[in-house]
Amino acid sequence: MEHAATPAWAILAYLVSGVLFILALRGLSSPESSRKGNMFGMVGMLIAVVTTLVTHGLANIPEILAALAIGGGIGYVLAQRIAMTQMPQLVAGFHSLVGMAAVLVGAAAFLNPQAFGIVDAAGGILPVSRVEMGLGIAIGAITFSGSVIAFLKLNGNMSGAPILLPARHVINIGTLIAIVALVAMFAHSPAAAQGTARCSGC
């Protein structure tokens, strides 16, 4: 199945939403700016969701309303049961789900790239999409693990003392270099480009 290229306005909209997400995280780092950060996050998510629905036609109005009802219902129940003193744990827990979602979306895009419209004329995954896929999975995995540790610390399941590994700066730089190298190899690998062919019968 052949998909049209993503319109320029949609790429710009995704870029704007990404910037708003970054501003949201920055705003949520301080109580004084948390309200503004929350607003940035909501606007960014609205732009991203509307752009995706318009460009891909993934769902109809009843499906969208059903998803809103389910998400709103879960949010309402949590808002009624979670005390304000437990809000940091809740945010950390939700952040871990965001990281896991990024990993799962990346894996789904690799297994079924046609559904994401990221294949070329020969049916291979576009190199730029492989870069996005690799970075998304890596950042999502780091976000997931870090948020889980944050949740455990805030909830009292782990000590609040910093985890200081020997040669931690070397480990961090080495991990960054390894991620960049692996993503570059993935982006230039002919086997990775044709990974969908092995799963076409899945």
For residue 41, the number of C-alpha atoms closer than 13 Å in the C-beta half-sphere is: 13
pLDDT of residue 174: 94
pLDDT reading at 200 higher than 60 = no
Q: Which domain holds residue 115?
A: 83-202
- Is the domain of 149 the same as that of 192? yes
Q: Is the pLDDT of residue 9 over 80?
A: yes
Q: Tell me the sheet residues that pair with 25.
A: none
CA distances from 118 to 2, 30, 132, 133 (A): 10, 38, 11, 10
Tell me what the pLDDT averaged over the chain comes to. 82
Higher pLDDT, 139 or 58: 139
Q: Model-level pTM?
A: 0.67
55 has a pLDDT exceeding 70:
yes
185 and 88 housed in the same domain: yes
State which of 55, 81, 107 marks the end of a domain. Answer: 81
Indicate whether 114 and 148 sit together in one domain: yes
Q: At a CB cut-off of 8 Å and minimum separation 6, what does 56 contact? A: 117
At which of 62, 81, 100 does a domain end? Answer: 81
Q: Are residues 75 and 92 in the same domain?
A: no
Q: Do 73 and 126 lie in a common domain?
A: no
Report the pLDDT averaged over residues 42-56. 86
The tally of domains found in the chain comes to 2
Q: How far apart are the first and last CA of the chain?
A: 16
Encoded amino acid at 45, one letter:
M
If asked whether residues 108 and 68 sit together in one domain, one would say no
3-state secondary structure of 57: coil
pLDDT value of position 58 = 61
Kindly state whether residues 197 and 136 are assigned to the same domain: yes
Query: Quick check: 118 pLDDT over 70?
Result: yes
Residues 96 and 182 in one domain: yes
Question: Cα–chain-centroid distance for residue 172?
Answer: 21
Q: Report the range of poorest mean pLDDT among 17-26, 56-65, 193-202.
A: 193-202
Task: Note whether 171 and 139 are same-domain residues.
Answer: yes
Mean pLDDT of all residues in 162-181: 89
Instruction: Specify whether 27 is located in the same domain as 115.
Output: no
94 and 63 co-located in one domain: no
Of the candidates 48, 81, 114, which is a domain's last residue? 81
Q: Please give the pLDDT value at position 199.
A: 47
pLDDT score, position 5: 63
Helix (H, G, I), strand (E, B) or coil at 194: coil
Lowest mean pLDDT among 60-64, 147-151, 178-182: 60-64
In this structure, the answer to whether residues 151 and 197 fall within a common structural domain is yes
- Please say if the pLDDT value at position 157 is more than 50: yes
